[in-house]
Amino acid sequence: MTIRVLIVDDHPMVTDGIEAILETYDDIDVVGTLNNGQEAVDRVNELAPDIILLDLNMPGLSGLIATEMILEARPETRIVILSMHDSPEYISTALSHGAKGYILKDVPTDEIRTAIDTVMQGGEYMCTGAKGSLKPKISDGRETLTNREQMILLELAQGQSNKDVANTLNISVRTVETHRNNIKRKLGISSTAGLTRYALEHGVLQGTGI
């Protein structure tokens, strides 16, 4: 079976390098290389990849939000995150948004192949540099946020209004307000500044340039 792979990274040297590596395998077909998350969301059904190698740190739509939007549009796609960061917060946040793998950009060639094979077989793959780094996302007794709440927290922490968030996620302002109240209740935070501080401390704002 041919594995269809889409590479999404805003650095041409990265996409070109990974594409060159993957093209050496007869059973892998690189269906495209894109340079931002929005393009991946817009074209995922057209390109129909089995696996997306997705950068977290891209301009515009972050890798985290792109991951959730891609999985909403095409749930059968498996996403493996590409990153330069091996901190527990980065890894656990990516996994909580639906990624099936996490590899650092400097991993050996054969490890990229191993990640693809593992994820295609239904497993999760953490590269050597990421193993042992994971810890519970919230370890202070607070309730865990849902994926949707984390997306809304990300937007709010970047200074977006309820209306802006509603437009971005195609939901009603009332729904945003409900999620916002639930987030504040779960985290025990009453102000927007407090939400921003929490997002920074727990890695929610990674991949946004903040």
Distance separating alpha carbons of residues 14 and 55, to the nearest angstrom: 10
pLDDT digits (tens, 9 = 90+) for 118-132: 999 999 898 766 655
Is the pTM for the entire model greater than 0.75? Answer: no
Give the pLDDT confidence of 7-52 residue by residue, as tens digits.
Answer: 999 999 999 999 999 999 999 999 999 999 999 999 999 999 999 9
pLDDT of residue 200: 77
Burial bucket for residue 174 (CB in 10 Å: 0-12, 13-18, 19+): exposed
Look at the block and give the residue holding tokens 């909580």. Answer: 96
